[in-house]
Amino acid sequence: MAGQFGSKFASHYATSSFRNGCWTPGEIVPVAKLLLHPAAHVLHYGSTCFEGLKAYRHEDGSVHIFRLDRHVERMRNSARLLCLPEPDEEHLSRTICGLVAASRDEVPAYPSALYLRPVLIGVDPNIGSAARPSDDALLYVLASPVGEYFQAGENPLRLWLEDRQMRTTPEFGEVKTGGNYASALRHVMQAKENHGVDQVLFCPNGDVQETGAANFLLLNDEAVITKRLDGSILPGITRASILELARQAGYRVEERDIDIAEMLEWVKTGEAALSGTAAVLAGVGALLHGTHEYPVNGGQIGANTKRLRTLLMDIHSGRRPDSAGWLTKI
Protein backbone atom coordinates (compact mmCIF):
# COMPACT_ATOMS: atom_id res chain seq x y z
CA MET A 1 0.00 0.00 0.00
CA ALA A 2 1.22 3.48 -0.81
CA GLY A 3 2.02 5.88 2.02
CA GLN A 4 2.87 5.24 5.64
CA PHE A 5 1.16 2.45 7.57
CA GLY A 6 -2.17 3.69 8.95
CA SER A 7 -2.25 7.01 7.05
CA LYS A 8 -4.93 6.01 4.56
CA PHE A 9 -8.50 5.36 5.71
CA ALA A 10 -11.63 3.68 4.44
CA SER A 11 -14.48 6.01 3.56
CA HIS A 12 -16.62 5.14 6.61
CA TYR A 13 -16.17 4.36 10.28
CA ALA A 14 -18.34 2.94 13.06
CA THR A 15 -19.45 4.84 16.13
CA SER A 16 -21.47 4.24 19.30
CA SER A 17 -21.96 6.31 22.47
CA PHE A 18 -22.41 5.37 26.11
CA ARG A 19 -24.97 7.69 27.76
CA ASN A 20 -27.30 7.28 30.73
CA GLY A 21 -25.87 3.87 31.48
CA CYS A 22 -26.32 2.21 28.09
CA TRP A 23 -24.78 2.02 24.63
CA THR A 24 -26.44 3.43 21.54
CA PRO A 25 -26.67 1.11 18.51
CA GLY A 26 -23.56 1.21 16.34
CA GLU A 27 -23.75 3.43 13.28
CA ILE A 28 -21.67 3.42 10.08
CA VAL A 29 -21.02 7.00 8.98
CA PRO A 30 -18.61 8.82 6.65
CA VAL A 31 -15.21 9.54 8.19
CA ALA A 32 -15.22 13.09 9.56
CA LYS A 33 -13.65 15.13 12.34
CA LEU A 34 -14.72 14.33 15.90
CA LEU A 35 -16.45 17.06 17.88
CA LEU A 36 -15.31 16.95 21.52
CA HIS A 37 -15.87 19.40 24.33
CA PRO A 38 -12.49 20.95 25.26
CA ALA A 39 -13.04 19.70 28.82
CA ALA A 40 -13.56 16.08 27.68
CA HIS A 41 -12.15 13.65 30.24
CA VAL A 42 -9.88 11.96 27.67
CA LEU A 43 -8.08 15.21 26.85
CA HIS A 44 -7.11 15.89 30.45
CA TYR A 45 -6.91 12.55 32.25
CA GLY A 46 -6.00 10.05 29.51
CA SER A 47 -9.15 7.93 29.70
CA THR A 48 -8.61 6.06 26.44
CA CYS A 49 -7.81 2.60 25.15
CA PHE A 50 -7.69 1.06 21.71
CA GLU A 51 -7.16 -2.14 19.77
CA GLY A 52 -5.49 -3.16 16.53
CA LEU A 53 -6.65 -6.11 14.43
CA LYS A 54 -6.85 -7.00 10.75
CA ALA A 55 -9.31 -8.24 8.17
CA TYR A 56 -7.87 -10.21 5.25
CA ARG A 57 -9.19 -10.93 1.76
CA HIS A 58 -8.79 -14.52 0.57
CA GLU A 59 -8.28 -15.57 -3.04
CA ASP A 60 -11.98 -16.43 -3.39
CA GLY A 61 -12.88 -12.82 -2.47
CA SER A 62 -14.15 -13.63 1.03
CA VAL A 63 -13.14 -11.38 3.94
CA HIS A 64 -12.08 -12.66 7.37
CA ILE A 65 -11.17 -10.94 10.67
CA PHE A 66 -8.28 -12.57 12.55
CA ARG A 67 -8.94 -13.52 16.19
CA LEU A 68 -11.78 -11.06 16.74
CA ASP A 69 -12.76 -12.65 20.06
CA ARG A 70 -9.30 -12.23 21.62
CA HIS A 71 -9.07 -8.58 20.57
CA VAL A 72 -12.54 -7.87 21.96
CA GLU A 73 -11.57 -9.57 25.23
CA ARG A 74 -8.37 -7.53 25.50
CA MET A 75 -10.13 -4.24 24.81
CA ARG A 76 -12.74 -4.96 27.45
CA ASN A 77 -9.94 -5.70 29.92
CA SER A 78 -8.27 -2.40 29.05
CA ALA A 79 -11.56 -0.58 29.60
CA ARG A 80 -11.99 -2.21 33.03
CA LEU A 81 -8.48 -1.28 34.16
CA LEU A 82 -8.98 2.31 32.97
CA CYS A 83 -12.41 2.53 34.69
CA LEU A 84 -14.07 3.30 31.35
CA PRO A 85 -17.61 2.14 30.47
CA GLU A 86 -17.06 -1.40 29.22
CA PRO A 87 -18.78 -2.41 25.97
CA ASP A 88 -20.18 -5.91 26.15
CA GLU A 89 -18.69 -8.56 23.90
CA GLU A 90 -21.65 -8.76 21.52
CA HIS A 91 -21.89 -4.99 21.03
CA LEU A 92 -18.18 -4.51 20.40
CA SER A 93 -17.97 -7.48 18.03
CA ARG A 94 -21.06 -6.37 16.13
CA THR A 95 -19.71 -2.83 15.75
CA ILE A 96 -16.38 -4.05 14.35
CA CYS A 97 -17.99 -6.59 12.03
CA GLY A 98 -20.49 -4.02 10.79
CA LEU A 99 -17.70 -1.71 9.70
CA VAL A 100 -15.82 -4.50 7.91
CA ALA A 101 -19.01 -5.51 6.09
CA ALA A 102 -19.58 -1.91 5.02
CA SER A 103 -15.94 -1.59 3.92
CA ARG A 104 -15.47 -4.96 2.22
CA ASP A 105 -14.82 -3.35 -1.17
CA GLU A 106 -11.92 -1.45 0.43
CA VAL A 107 -10.20 -4.56 1.82
CA PRO A 108 -7.03 -4.93 -0.28
CA ALA A 109 -5.67 -8.16 -1.71
CA TYR A 110 -3.41 -10.26 0.50
CA PRO A 111 -0.74 -9.78 1.89
CA SER A 112 -2.10 -6.27 2.44
CA ALA A 113 -5.03 -6.04 4.86
CA LEU A 114 -7.72 -3.81 6.32
CA TYR A 115 -6.31 -2.69 9.67
CA LEU A 116 -9.03 -2.03 12.25
CA ARG A 117 -8.60 0.42 15.11
CA PRO A 118 -11.39 0.37 17.74
CA VAL A 119 -11.02 3.31 20.14
CA LEU A 120 -12.80 3.99 23.45
CA ILE A 121 -12.60 7.41 25.10
CA GLY A 122 -14.15 9.12 28.12
CA VAL A 123 -16.04 12.26 27.09
CA ASP A 124 -17.43 13.79 30.31
CA PRO A 125 -16.93 17.60 30.04
CA ASN A 126 -15.49 18.16 33.52
CA ILE A 127 -11.94 19.29 34.25
CA GLY A 128 -12.55 18.69 37.95
CA SER A 129 -12.97 14.92 37.51
CA ALA A 130 -9.38 13.74 37.91
CA ALA A 131 -10.40 11.54 40.85
CA ARG A 132 -13.39 9.88 39.20
CA PRO A 133 -14.02 8.07 35.92
CA SER A 134 -15.97 9.40 32.98
CA ASP A 135 -19.65 8.43 33.04
CA ASP A 136 -20.06 8.94 29.30
CA ALA A 137 -17.91 7.46 26.56
CA LEU A 138 -17.48 7.27 22.81
CA LEU A 139 -16.59 4.07 20.98
CA TYR A 140 -15.50 4.30 17.37
CA VAL A 141 -13.76 2.02 14.89
CA LEU A 142 -11.52 3.20 12.06
CA ALA A 143 -10.50 1.05 9.06
CA SER A 144 -7.23 1.54 7.20
CA PRO A 145 -5.95 -0.41 4.16
CA VAL A 146 -2.32 -1.23 4.99
CA GLY A 147 0.80 -2.99 3.77
CA GLU A 148 4.07 -3.54 5.67
CA TYR A 149 4.47 -1.86 9.08
CA PHE A 150 8.23 -1.52 9.28
CA GLN A 151 9.75 0.58 6.51
CA ALA A 152 12.54 -1.98 6.32
CA GLY A 153 9.93 -4.48 5.09
CA GLU A 154 11.54 -7.91 4.96
CA ASN A 155 14.95 -6.62 6.09
CA PRO A 156 16.20 -7.59 9.58
CA LEU A 157 15.58 -4.99 12.30
CA ARG A 158 18.08 -3.25 14.54
CA LEU A 159 17.11 -2.82 18.21
CA TRP A 160 18.59 -0.61 20.92
CA LEU A 161 18.60 -2.21 24.40
CA GLU A 162 17.29 0.28 26.98
CA ASP A 163 18.36 -1.15 30.34
CA ARG A 164 17.39 1.72 32.65
CA GLN A 165 14.05 3.17 31.56
CA MET A 166 10.72 1.33 31.53
CA ARG A 167 8.30 1.34 28.62
CA THR A 168 5.45 1.92 31.07
CA THR A 169 4.59 1.44 34.73
CA PRO A 170 5.06 -2.27 35.57
CA GLU A 171 1.44 -3.08 36.43
CA PHE A 172 -0.01 -1.16 33.48
CA GLY A 173 1.88 -2.69 30.56
CA GLU A 174 -1.00 -5.05 29.76
CA VAL A 175 -3.31 -2.12 28.93
CA LYS A 176 -3.42 -0.92 25.33
CA THR A 177 -3.62 2.79 26.03
CA GLY A 178 -2.03 5.81 24.39
CA GLY A 179 -0.11 6.83 27.50
CA ASN A 180 2.06 3.70 27.28
CA TYR A 181 3.11 4.54 23.75
CA ALA A 182 3.68 8.19 24.67
CA SER A 183 5.98 7.21 27.54
CA ALA A 184 8.11 5.06 25.20
CA LEU A 185 8.24 7.48 22.30
CA ARG A 186 11.09 9.77 23.38
CA HIS A 187 13.32 6.78 24.06
CA VAL A 188 12.55 5.41 20.61
CA MET A 189 13.22 8.74 18.91
CA GLN A 190 16.51 9.24 20.79
CA ALA A 191 17.68 5.73 19.91
CA LYS A 192 16.81 6.20 16.25
CA GLU A 193 18.70 9.49 16.12
CA ASN A 194 21.72 8.39 18.15
CA HIS A 195 22.10 4.78 17.04
CA GLY A 196 20.22 4.38 13.75
CA VAL A 197 17.94 1.63 15.04
CA ASP A 198 14.38 0.67 14.14
CA GLN A 199 13.03 0.21 17.67
CA VAL A 200 13.92 0.06 21.37
CA LEU A 201 13.79 -3.16 23.37
CA PHE A 202 13.00 -2.18 26.95
CA CYS A 203 15.04 -4.16 29.50
CA PRO A 204 14.74 -2.25 32.80
CA ASN A 205 17.30 -3.56 35.30
CA GLY A 206 18.21 -6.23 32.74
CA ASP A 207 14.68 -7.70 32.46
CA VAL A 208 13.99 -8.26 28.74
CA GLN A 209 10.40 -7.15 28.13
CA GLU A 210 9.17 -5.81 24.77
CA THR A 211 9.68 -2.96 22.32
CA GLY A 212 7.62 0.21 22.14
CA ALA A 213 5.15 -1.44 19.76
CA ALA A 214 5.67 -5.22 19.66
CA ASN A 215 6.37 -8.32 21.74
CA PHE A 216 9.86 -9.86 21.64
CA LEU A 217 10.75 -13.53 21.11
CA LEU A 218 13.92 -15.66 21.03
CA LEU A 219 13.93 -18.65 18.68
CA ASN A 220 16.09 -21.55 17.57
CA ASP A 221 15.50 -25.00 16.06
CA GLU A 222 14.16 -26.38 19.35
CA ALA A 223 12.55 -23.57 21.31
CA VAL A 224 10.65 -20.28 21.34
CA ILE A 225 11.12 -18.16 24.48
CA THR A 226 9.38 -14.94 25.45
CA LYS A 227 8.66 -12.82 28.52
CA ARG A 228 5.89 -14.17 30.76
CA LEU A 229 2.65 -12.21 31.09
CA ASP A 230 3.18 -10.49 34.44
CA GLY A 231 1.33 -7.24 33.71
CA SER A 232 4.44 -5.43 32.46
CA ILE A 233 3.93 -6.32 28.78
CA LEU A 234 1.01 -6.38 26.38
CA PRO A 235 -0.66 -9.80 26.02
CA GLY A 236 -0.17 -9.80 22.26
CA ILE A 237 -2.66 -11.74 20.15
CA THR A 238 -0.02 -12.40 17.49
CA ARG A 239 2.34 -13.47 20.28
CA ALA A 240 -0.23 -15.99 21.55
CA SER A 241 -0.86 -17.25 18.01
CA ILE A 242 2.85 -17.73 17.25
CA LEU A 243 3.34 -19.60 20.51
CA GLU A 244 0.43 -21.93 19.73
CA LEU A 245 1.70 -22.58 16.20
CA ALA A 246 5.18 -23.21 17.61
CA ARG A 247 3.81 -25.83 20.01
CA GLN A 248 1.96 -27.54 17.17
CA ALA A 249 5.15 -27.53 15.10
CA GLY A 250 7.10 -29.28 17.86
CA TYR A 251 8.99 -26.38 19.42
CA ARG A 252 9.45 -26.14 23.17
CA VAL A 253 7.66 -22.96 24.26
CA GLU A 254 8.80 -21.09 27.37
CA GLU A 255 7.09 -18.03 28.83
CA ARG A 256 9.44 -16.77 31.52
CA ASP A 257 11.76 -14.00 32.59
CA ILE A 258 14.83 -13.40 30.40
CA ASP A 259 17.80 -11.23 31.28
CA ILE A 260 20.12 -9.35 28.93
CA ALA A 261 23.07 -11.67 29.52
CA GLU A 262 21.05 -14.75 28.53
CA MET A 263 19.65 -12.98 25.47
CA LEU A 264 23.08 -11.88 24.22
CA GLU A 265 24.38 -15.41 24.67
CA TRP A 266 21.32 -16.81 22.86
CA VAL A 267 21.71 -14.65 19.74
CA LYS A 268 25.24 -15.93 19.13
CA THR A 269 23.60 -19.01 17.58
CA GLY A 270 19.84 -18.34 17.76
CA GLU A 271 17.29 -15.90 16.39
CA ALA A 272 15.16 -13.01 17.67
CA ALA A 273 11.94 -11.51 16.35
CA LEU A 274 9.18 -9.01 17.06
CA SER A 275 5.53 -10.02 16.93
CA GLY A 276 2.39 -7.90 16.61
CA THR A 277 -0.73 -7.35 14.55
CA ALA A 278 1.04 -4.73 12.44
CA ALA A 279 4.48 -6.35 12.29
CA VAL A 280 3.24 -10.01 12.13
CA LEU A 281 6.65 -11.63 12.87
CA ALA A 282 9.64 -9.46 11.98
CA GLY A 283 13.18 -10.79 12.21
CA VAL A 284 15.86 -8.99 14.25
CA GLY A 285 19.35 -8.70 12.77
CA ALA A 286 21.23 -6.75 15.43
CA LEU A 287 21.06 -5.74 19.10
CA LEU A 288 22.88 -2.59 20.24
CA HIS A 289 23.85 -2.21 23.89
CA GLY A 290 26.19 0.41 25.27
CA THR A 291 29.06 0.75 22.80
CA HIS A 292 28.65 -2.72 21.31
CA GLU A 293 26.62 -4.14 18.44
CA TYR A 294 25.65 -7.82 18.63
CA PRO A 295 24.66 -9.48 15.36
CA VAL A 296 21.68 -11.84 15.52
CA ASN A 297 21.82 -14.92 13.29
CA GLY A 298 24.68 -13.37 11.35
CA GLY A 299 22.60 -10.27 10.69
CA GLN A 300 19.98 -12.24 8.75
CA ILE A 301 16.35 -13.20 9.39
CA GLY A 302 16.41 -16.76 10.72
CA ALA A 303 14.82 -19.87 9.24
CA ASN A 304 12.63 -20.45 12.31
CA THR A 305 11.32 -16.88 12.21
CA LYS A 306 10.47 -17.33 8.53
CA ARG A 307 8.84 -20.69 9.20
CA LEU A 308 6.55 -19.45 11.97
CA ARG A 309 5.72 -16.26 10.07
CA THR A 310 4.70 -18.35 7.06
CA LEU A 311 2.56 -20.67 9.20
CA LEU A 312 0.68 -17.68 10.59
CA MET A 313 0.37 -15.87 7.26
CA ASP A 314 -0.99 -19.04 5.64
CA ILE A 315 -3.88 -18.90 8.12
CA HIS A 316 -4.38 -15.17 7.49
CA SER A 317 -4.58 -15.77 3.75
CA GLY A 318 -6.66 -18.95 3.82
CA ARG A 319 -3.87 -21.07 2.33
CA ARG A 320 -3.87 -23.23 5.48
CA PRO A 321 -7.00 -24.65 7.18
CA ASP A 322 -8.23 -22.60 10.14
CA SER A 323 -8.51 -25.60 12.44
CA ALA A 324 -8.52 -23.44 15.60
CA GLY A 325 -11.37 -21.18 14.47
CA TRP A 326 -9.27 -18.02 14.50
CA LEU A 327 -11.01 -16.40 11.52
CA THR A 328 -14.41 -14.66 11.56
CA LYS A 329 -15.92 -14.59 8.09
CA ILE A 330 -17.79 -11.40 7.18
Strand partners, 30: 12
Decide if 279 is inside a domain: yes
Does residue 137 share a domain with residue 164?
Answer: no
Does residue 225 share a domain with residue 266?
Answer: yes
Contact in structure between 82 and 176 (CB atoms under 8 Å): no
Does residue 275 share a domain with residue 178?
Answer: yes
Does residue 223 share a domain with residue 203?
Answer: yes
Report the pLDDT value the prediction gives residue 5, as an integer from 0 to 100.
80
Provide CB contacts within 8 A for 272, sequence distance 6+: 159, 216, 217, 218, 219, 263, 266, 283, 284, 287, 296, 297
Model pLDDT for residues 68-84, shown as the tens digit of each residue: 999 999 999 999 999 99
Does residue 96 share a domain with residue 64?
Answer: yes
Contact in structure between 15 and 29 (CB atoms under 8 Å): yes
Decide if 209 is inside a domain: yes
Whether the pTM exceeds 0.85: the reply is yes
Domain-terminating residue out of 100, 126, 146: 146
Decide if 101 is inside a domain: yes
Decide if 6 is inside a domain: no
How many Å apart are CA 234 and CA 246, to the nearest integer? 19
* Structural domain span for residue 163: 157-317
How many Å apart are CA 90 and CA 105, to the nearest integer? 24
Report the pLDDT value the prediction gives residue 6, as an integer from 0 to 100.
73
CATH code of the domain covering residue 42: 3.30.470.10
Does residue 129 share a domain with residue 197?
Answer: no
Query: Running DSSP on this structure, what letter comes out for residue 207?
Result: B
For 135, phi then psi, to 5°, come to: -75, -35
CATH code of the domain covering residue 269: 3.20.10.10
Decide if 128 is inside a domain: yes
Does residue 261 share a domain with residue 179?
Answer: yes
Decide if 273 is inside a domain: yes
Report the pLDDT value the prediction gives residue 3, as an integer from 0 to 100.
53
Does residue 228 share a domain with residue 82?
Answer: no
Does residue 130 share a domain with residue 167?
Answer: no
Mean pLDDT per 10-residue interval, the chain, length 330 residues: 73 96 96 95 97 96 97 97 96 97 95 96 95 96 84 78 90 92 94 95 96 95 97 95 98 97 96 92 96 94 96 95 95
Domain-terminating residue out of 96, 125, 146: 146
Decide if 104 is inside a domain: yes
Number of domains in the chain: 2
Does residue 197 share a domain with residue 142?
Answer: no
Question: In this structure, which amino acid lies at residue 309?
Answer: R
Does residue 65 share a domain with residue 212?
Answer: no
For 318, phi then psi, to 5°, come to: 90, 5
Report the pLDDT value the prediction gives residue 223, as an integer from 0 to 100.
98
Report the pLDDT value the prediction gives residue 152, as an integer from 0 to 100.
45
- Cα 276-247-161 angle, rounded to 5 deg: 40
Give the 3-state secondary structure of residue 16: strand
Decide if 161 is inside a domain: yes
Domain-terminating residue out of 122, 146, 170: 146
For the beta carbon of residue 128, count every other beta carbon within 10 angstroms: 8
Does residue 221 share a domain with residue 301?
Answer: yes
Contact in structure between 173 and 231 (CB atoms under 8 Å): yes
How many Å apart are CA 92 and CA 72, to the nearest integer? 7
